[in-house]
A and B are shown apart, each in its own frame.
Chain A
Amino acid sequence: MAAKKRYAMVIDTKLCIGCGDCVVACKMENEVPEGFCRDWIVESVTGVFPNLHMEYRSERCNHCSNPPCVHACPTGASFVDDESNITLVDPDMCTGCKACIAACPYDARYVRPEGYVSKCTFCIHRVREGLDPACVASCPTHCMHFGDLNDPESNVSKLLESRPFKVLAPEAGTEPNVYYLI
């Protein structure tokens, strides 16, 4: 068995332009139904004209190391893949009760028209084949990075070593694995 991975995404807010290509690429790759998305863009503007600061963030499931959705799931459908640290949903076990949706502080989950919950999978079907997730591979600014934080030589480990970063809602204690370079 391969060594355990801790997959993470590192997104450079200094480069992200909020173009939404990551959103579309995900929708196409993963055939996300109309009206839903697994990733989305947040634009945050602070200051008063003309002294302004703006940050774009491409957000999605944080594949938290301490995932409240999994803890909340009464059926065991939401689970963490032990080998990759990716949070997934088993459609056969999911009853669509939405406990996980209520528990997730990031609003990452939605109920598919078929009745089970879905969300970002970190494109594990691609990652296992050595490809970047679809969103990462499409981003025209190259501001998204994907890799294994258990490997100190990985691009993501090195970026977090060399640049200041933040995570979303750290106070929730979820230990997110999507990092934003600031």
Chain B
Amino acid sequence: MWGNSCQGLGVEALQSGSGNAFKWAGRDLIISRPECAPPFGIGEAFPECTIQPYLETDMSVNRREFIKIGALGLGSMSLAPKVFEWGPSAAKTFPVQPGDVVTRAPTYCEICFWKCAGWAYTKNGRPWKIIGHDEDLHSHGRLCTRGSSGLGLYNDPDRLQRPLIRVEKDGRQTFKEVSWDEALGFIAERLQALKETHGPESLAMFSHGNGAVHWKTLVKAFGANCIAAPSFAQCRGPRAAGFYLTYGETVGSPERTDIENSRCLVLIGSHIGENLHNGQVQEMSKALDRGTEVIVVDPRFSVAASKARHWLPIKPATDVALLLAWINVILEEDLYDRDYVARYTVGLDKLKEAVRENTPEWAYPITSIQPEVIRETARLMALHAPATLVHPGRHVTWYGDDTQRSRAIAILNALLGSWGRKGGFYLPQSAHVPAYPHPPFPKPAWSPCDFTRALYPWALSPVASHVRDMTLDPPDPEKQIKAWLVYGSNLIYSLPQPEKTIAAVQKLDLMIAVDILPSEITGWADVVLPECTYLERYDDIRTSPGRVPQIAVRTPAFEPAYDTKPSAWMVKKLAGMMGLDDYFPWADMEEYLDHRLQQVGSSLEEMHELGVKTLPSLGPNYFQPGEEVTFNTPSGKIELYSQQMADAGFDPIPRYTPHAEPPDGFYRLLQGRSPFHTFSRTTNSPIFTELMPENELWINPQVAADWGLKAGQYVKMQNQDGKTSQFPIRTRITERIRPDCVYMVHGFGHSDPRLKRGFGRGADDNEMCTTVKIDPLMGGTGRRSNFVTFITEGV
């Protein structure tokens, strides 16, 4: 049982989280399960009765393909006796037995944003495994570790099971299980009240993932348009802004990086292989196998660094200096692509002028990278250009000048002529599938995003952290955010400074959370809607960009467990209660999808069969020799020098600015990914907790010796602002990291005991990041200017 220790924690959280813990005006963090639900202990079996596989009679409605083993090419029905003449008894332990009925349904993965297409298998009506779809351009038939474990989410005994509403009972707030009618009725009523008192614009949405699409429609139909995803300002936003400012386009997702054809791949802090962005991992492996020159810049001996011929263990926070030195060498030694630069870019002379002083000798004391190494690697890049890819990274909110760093990367690529060229950045194509028609959305009278854009001119998407801050501290008393709809995004972990997030929630009239797991943010909601997993629902068509257009569908492989529902069902029902039916004119997802698919010459029936469908190419993936190209920038060219940035008062060419250094006895805290987890989303999965039950703090042996730390010892971290980690973390003493920094994987140290496997396992990096450096160009929240020291006593 998890009772005693967690209760203590709950009280602590209540006191720090909310000033008036027992009054309705403030929200308490609700940490206990509703009384009527039996709590399952760690390791206890998932109750069998809750799995409700489709009945065979459902096959007729064409929900998925019904496959007999023979039809799959897995052999005949009498598999064991016939095949294993040598030991039918040993064969008894094999996973497929004579007479087993195997079925599969097409899906695309939702464990991360890569959205690999695959097949979810059942055996005798029970979930079995998920494997990649051979024709899928995102996975090439191979899901990653997390995707292969997708059933862990489905099987998680801690899943939200029924709709919950916050009520007060015996002077304490708690969740009450309610019917869907009651939960949705409550929301409809409260949103109506919100509209009357504060206007529809006062509703803001936070989202992550494909299931959000109908919620977004609902928010817009309601009359609001502030829909923010932490994936912008907390992740890849600076890259988007940096490339947009340079090329007039972003790199997209999946990235348009032509790693497969690269002859030189440069990774700057990007740890492909630990981040399992499937297509990139596969392409990097192909490139390595071909002997591609790989240059990795990382303070840590990452997996990618271990594969690279050149590892530059840079001093953290100095990447811009290295980039400028590389640019300097390429210009000074005349190594740039003259024709490409002359044809497509503006500002070469100004760039030359700006980086004249940024020699490798200048960069050496800053970065700790030897001048000859800088020269050698710059020459290698030029040697292989234009098939040289200086990778833009993905999670790039580091130091607050991240858009400028991304600009430097964009400029370096432009000098190498790699944008639009084979082995650099290809020209992506995506399928255009017309939307299901609906009436035009009402025009909001104001939008919180207006304030964001006024503050951060290149916030290309809403800034989730700013929406939070505006909720807490409205820039205009007449324009307040009073309700949140939080879809699939654990804001306590994904936004920096969680105490601000909790304080902002206290100011809301209504807080709705749609989630699969009782993630920390759901503990602050007024109403929690339990969504079924991606394996139990239809979702919208995947149309992500690639080398050719391709579509993929997600279909339910199993019936929703418990009383969970797909978002499409919830939204349609809620829209009915709110009088917004017109925006959802389809009967169900089958009709919605079929209508859309028909417009690209397919159908739901066909897609059930195919899973993915590749559409005809729309043109070449690279610029043609001598092709005239107009870029979507003010000058129509690739902007090495950005006049619009100068006009807005920013550096038109990136400059190196030194960042704060760790005080004595402190170490810069770096965060990253593990192949076993996606953000904080998977840390409760029964499968993953076996593989990686907790994160570790990587510490160089020199540092460990100074502190007398032993490998595997638990320590607490304390940062420069005196913040101590809630949970201890194990040390990993390793040569794989510089002595001036420590490293940990993001997403651990869950504080919500409803997440039984993740609770208190490892530590949370986010809580240690009390210092946040905001990117003035796009509002990004850099978290790498935090420094920690170790507390060994009383851990």
A residues touching B (Cβ–Cβ < 8 Å)? 12, 14-15, 17-21, 23-25, 27-31, 34-35, 37, 45, 47-50, 52-54, 56, 79, 81-83, 88-93, 118, 121, 124-125, 128-131, 137-143
Contact of B106 with A by CB under 8 A = no
Q: Which residue of A lies closest to B92 (CB)?
A: A91
A17 to B84, CA, bound (A): 35
Contact of B734 with A by CB under 8 A = yes
A83 to B289, CA, bound (A): 33
A141 to B141, CA, bound (A): 12
Q: A34-B43, A50-B301 are in contact. Are A89 and B90 (CB under 8 A)?
A: yes
Which residues of A have CB within 8 Å of B87? 79, 81, 88, 90
Q: A15-B285, A19-B276, A90-B89 are in contact. Are A27 and B131 (CB under 8 A)?
A: no
Supply 20 A–B pairs (Cβ within 8 Å), ascending by A.
Answer: A17-B303, A17-B307, A17-B675, A19-B144, A19-B675, A21-B144, A21-B148, A24-B148, A28-B149, A29-B129, A31-B95, A49-B738, A52-B736, A54-B306, A92-B89, A128-B83, A138-B132, A139-B142, A140-B282, A140-B285
Q: A14-B307, A137-B131 are in contact. Are A121 and B301 (CB under 8 A)?
A: no
Q: How far is the CB of A146 from chain B (nearest CB, A)?
A: 14
For the complex of A and B, the 10 pairs showing the least CB-CB separation, nearest first, are: A141-B285, A54-B306, A17-B273, A28-B129, A19-B675, A125-B94, A21-B145, A24-B148, A88-B90, A49-B735
Which residues of A have CB within 8 Å of B281? 17, 19, 140-141
New A-B contacts (5) at CB < 8 Å, excluding given A50-B301, A138-B131: A24-B149, A24-B691, A50-B311, A121-B93, A140-B278
Contact of B74 with A by CB under 8 A = yes
Contact of B495 with A by CB under 8 A = no
Q: How far is the CB of A47 from chain B (nearest CB, A)?
A: 7
B75 touches A129 (CB 8 A): yes
Q: A19-B281, A129-B75 are in contact. Are A138 and B143 (CB under 8 A)?
A: yes
Q: How far is the CB of A25 from chain B (nearest CB, A)?
A: 5
Q: How far is the CB of A98 from chain B (nearest CB, A)?
A: 17
Contact of B73 with A by CB under 8 A = yes
Which residues of A have CB within 8 Å of B129? 25, 28-29
Q: A30-B95, A54-B736 are in contact. Are A18 and B276 (CB under 8 A)?
A: no
Which residues of A have CB within 8 Å of B89? 90-93
Contact of B690 with A by CB under 8 A = yes
A141 touches B282 (CB 8 A): yes
Contact of B791 with A by CB under 8 A = no
Which residues of A have CB within 8 Å of B74? 129, 131
A19 touches B130 (CB 8 A): no
Contact of B686 with A by CB under 8 A = yes
A68 to B329, CA, bound (A): 60
B675 touches A138 (CB 8 A): no
Q: A20-B675, A21-B145, A140-B142 are in contact. Are A125 and B95 (CB under 8 A)?
A: yes
Which residues of A have CB within 8 Å of B86? 81-83
A24 touches B145 (CB 8 A): yes
A76 to B600, CA, bound (A): 61
Contact of B324 with A by CB under 8 A = no
Q: Which residue of B lies closest to A129 (CB)?
A: B75
Cβ proximity bits B81-104 to A, threshold 8 Å, 1 near / 0 not: 001101101111111100000000
Cβ proximity bits B553-584 to A, threshold 8 Å, 1 near / 0 not: 00000000000000000000000000000000
Which residues of B have CB within 8 Å of A18? 303, 675
Q: How far is the CB of B182 from chain A (nearest CB, A)?
A: 37
Q: How far is the CB of A88 from chain B (nearest CB, A)?
A: 4
Which residues of A have CB within 8 Å of B285? 15, 17, 140-143
B73 touches which of A20, A48, A129 (Cβ 8 Å)? A129
A48 to B702, CA, bound (A): 11
Cβ proximity bits B45-88 to A, threshold 8 Å, 1 near / 0 not: 00000000000000000000000000001110001000110110
Q: Which residue of B lies closest to A20 (CB)?
A: B145
A49 touches B675 (CB 8 A): no
Which residues of A have CB within 8 Å of B399? none
Q: Which residue of A lies closest to B151 (CB)?
A: A28
A15 touches which of B75, B148, B289 (Cβ 8 Å)? B289
Q: How far is the CB of B81 from chain A (nearest CB, A)?
A: 13
Which residues of B have CB within 8 Å of A31? 95, 128
Which residues of B have CB within 8 Å of A139? 142
Cβ proximity bits B438-458 to A, threshold 8 Å, 1 near / 0 not: 000000000000000000000
A141 to B142, CA, bound (A): 9
Which residues of B have CB within 8 Å of A34? 43, 686, 690
Q: Which residue of A lies closest to B123 (CB)?
A: A31
A37 to B690, CA, bound (A): 10
Q: How far is the CB of A79 from chain B (nearest CB, A)?
A: 7
B691 touches which of A23, A47, A81 (Cβ 8 Å)? A23
Which residues of A have CB within 8 Å of B523? none
A28 to B144, CA, bound (A): 13
A88 to B94, CA, bound (A): 11
Which residues of A have CB within 8 Å of B282? 140-142
Q: How far is the CB of A103 from chain B (nearest CB, A)?
A: 19
A52 touches B128 (CB 8 A): no
Which residues of B have CB within 8 Å of A125? 79, 83, 91, 94-96
Cβ proximity bits B668-706 to A, threshold 8 Å, 1 near / 0 not: 000000011000000000110011000000001000000
Q: How far is the CB of B650 from chain A (nearest CB, A)?
A: 35
A29 to B687, CA, bound (A): 13
Q: Which residue of B lies closest to A47 (CB)?
A: B735
Q: Which residue of B lies closest to A36 (CB)?
A: B690
Q: Which residue of B lies closest to A18 (CB)?
A: B303
Which residues of A have CB within 8 Å of B289? 12, 14-15, 142
A30 to B123, CA, bound (A): 12
Which residues of A have CB within 8 Å of B273? 17, 19
Which residues of A have CB within 8 Å of B301? 45, 49-50, 52, 54
Contact of B753 with A by CB under 8 A = no
A34 to B94, CA, bound (A): 17
Q: Which residue of A lies closest to B306 (CB)?
A: A54
Contact of B517 with A by CB under 8 A = no
B690 touches A138 (CB 8 A): no
B residues 505-536 near A (Cβ < 8 Å) are none
B residues 703-753 near A (Cβ < 8 Å) are 734-739
Which residues of A have CB within 8 Å of B143? 21, 138, 140
Which residues of A have CB within 8 Å of B96? 125
B288 touches A15 (CB 8 A): yes
A48 touches B83 (CB 8 A): no
Contact of B386 with A by CB under 8 A = no
A20 touches B151 (CB 8 A): no
Q: How far is the CB of A128 from chain B (nearest CB, A)?
A: 5
A49 touches B700 (CB 8 A): yes
Which residues of B have CB within 8 Å of A130? 73
A121 touches B75 (CB 8 A): no
Cβ proximity bits B747-777 to A, threshold 8 Å, 1 near / 0 not: 0000000000000000000000000000000
A52 touches which of B90, B148, B149, B306 (Cβ 8 Å)? B306
Q: How far is the CB of A78 from chain B (nearest CB, A)?
A: 10
Please indicate which of the listed interface residues B73, B84, B285, B734 has the most CB atoms of chain A within 10 Å of its own CB: B285
Q: How far is the CB of B565 from chain A (nearest CB, A)?
A: 26
A140 to B274, CA, bound (A): 12
A34 to B757, CA, bound (A): 13
A18 to B313, CA, bound (A): 21
